[in-house]
Every structure is written in structure tokens, then in C-alpha cells.
Chains A and B, each alone.
Chain A
Amino acid sequence: MGLGAYVAVSAALFALGVVAIIVRRNVLYVLMGIEMILNAANINFVAFSHFQGGALDGRMFAIFTIILAAAEAAVALAIVLNVFYLFDSVRPSEADLLRE
């Protein structure tokens, strides 16, 4: 498989992630969408790194991104859990105290 195939998959994953964030009304799906975007970037990093003569920069970046995604998911889920306790809902549209 050529580089193009990997980039195509990653672009599709990125697009799906963005759509998930925009369309779904539930925070958990939004967080999944964010994970998909991060993983789309990971596919890019690893694929580019492989096809460019194996410089390690890209692979290192991917490893750090995985850690970063885990940390972000932990913080985000803790926040969502707290919102759920206070609002009995995980839909951003129902937590709307802050507006003009």
C-alpha cells in the first residue's frame, strides 16, 4: 500500500471525528470524536515517518500523542462526571446557565 492510502484513511477519520463533534448532542460522543481526530493525526505521523526513510520524529510524535490523548480523556471524563452529578445529564445543551 502506498502513502496515499494511509493519508486517505486518516483524512476520513478526521472528517468523521469533526462530524461526530458537530452532530452528536452527547458529550461522550463528542469526546470520542476528539479521540478520532487525535488518532487520525497519529496515522499520519506514523505513515509519513515510514515513507520518508524512517526518521523517528513522526513515530515519537505518535507515541506522545497517545499519552496526551489518554491524559486528556482522563481529565475530560472527570469533568463530565462532575457535570453529570450536578445536572443529571451529559448533554451540553442542558447545561446552559452561562449565556447572555
Chain B
Amino acid sequence: MGIIALYRNLCVSVSLWFIIHRNLRFFICVICVICGFELFSCKSFAMGETSKFTFAHLQYDGGNWNPRPNAGKRLMWELIKRTSVEAKIETVSVRADDTNLFEYPFLYMSGDQEFPPFSEKEISNLKLYLEFGGTLLIDDSIGKTDFGFDKSVRCEIKRLFPTKPLEKLPTEHTVFKSFYLLNQAYGRIMEKSYLEGVTLENRTVIIYSQNDLGGAWSKNPLGSWEYEVIPGGETQRAMAFRLGINIVMYALTGNYKQDQVHLPFILKRQM
């Protein structure tokens, strides 16, 4: 019995050695993948899920609240790849009157058509959310001023902050230097070279883009870009990602890049 077992073990070992030897490249690849996975899993070794940055999509009645369903996921993928921020790849959707709204201090609202006014509950909840630390990125997917989505958005912002209208964000605004140094707004289209926003106590709580940022970010599950970026092509798409990352970084760090220690470096690079 012992000799038979020894023989069997020897055969298995020799067979394995032959298999490994013949497929050495394959096994090296497998080992690399495992190591890479280990490395990746170390990096994502965070605490609870809400400690990670979550791309929360604002869901609202009427209109089309999610014209670019793959945009957020791709932006999060890029965010993880490019920065030290821990983020969840999967996005969530949340309503403004949802009790869970305050689990997600960053909110993305998009659309391509007019929508009915928010309820009073949604308005009051959203106002509280923004005043106490939340950030809302609004992305107009068609980029037509005073039409459709833009018309509804301006109307709702007026209801939120009657005395604080949307204002053009200057190029010196922290959102243009929170990670990448940018000098204008980008997106799938170049409707406006600037962003607009509502600023409360030195913090821009609403950032409004009319260049279809989501369109530039969107990639389908097969790995192809969903929308063509015009007029700048792939360079413009890269810039749109940079702006998206800057907006997330601004939401997470506020006016950190306005601190005195950063100014000489940034001024030197902008010259």
C-alpha cells in the first residue's frame, strides 16, 4: 500500500511539474494576477462602506433623472486609479426626501428634459443638506439654456436659495485647482466654458455644469465610450474627467487648495 501511494504521489508530482513547466507563462500570469489582487485589496481595505466616497445620484419625479447611467461608475473608477481617495465603484440613487440622503454628502443630479417642481419636503431637506455640508453637482446633459432641464434646475435653485442666485465660478475658484490645474469647464459638449454655482459662507454648495460631464465619462460594459466628445475629441474627454475628479476633490477637501502653503506652487505652475 505504501509503495503504491508513493508511486501515485510521485506520478502526480511529476505530472504537475510537467504541466507547470509547459505552461510557465500562464502560471506567471496567474501569480501576477493574484499578487495584483492582493495589492489592490490592501488599498481598498477601508472601514464601513459609507466611509468610502459614494457617487450618489439624485432621483426625482418626472423628466429623466438618469440619462447617463454609466457615468458615475466610470468616474469613480478613474478617481480610485488617479487619487488616494477611497471610493465605491457602484453608484447609488437617492431621493431628496429620503432619510438616507445624509449618508451621502456628495450628490449628482443630471437630466435632459424638464421635470416637475420638487415637493416642499424635498426642497427643505435638500436645503438643510446643502447648508450643513452637502455638495450637489448638477449636470445638464443637453446644455440648452432656459430650456428643458436647465429651466427646471434654475427654477428649483431659486426655490432653494431665493437670495443666492447661480453665479459664474471664476477660474481662480478652488474647483479648478483642487487636484488638476484647469482653466475652464469641460464636458461632452462645450456649451459653456465656465461652471456656475451657489456659494454659502465661502463654500460652493451647488456646482452646475451645462456641458454634459456625464456624457464624457460614460463607458459601456464592453469598454467603449458611449458618446462622442465634441469638438475636442479625446483630449476634451480627458479634461472632463479631470474636472470631475476636481469636483469630487473639492467636495472632500473644500478650500484646502486655497491654504497659504499651496499658493506659491500653484501660481508658479499656472504662469
Please say whether chains A and B are actual partners in one complex.
Answer: no
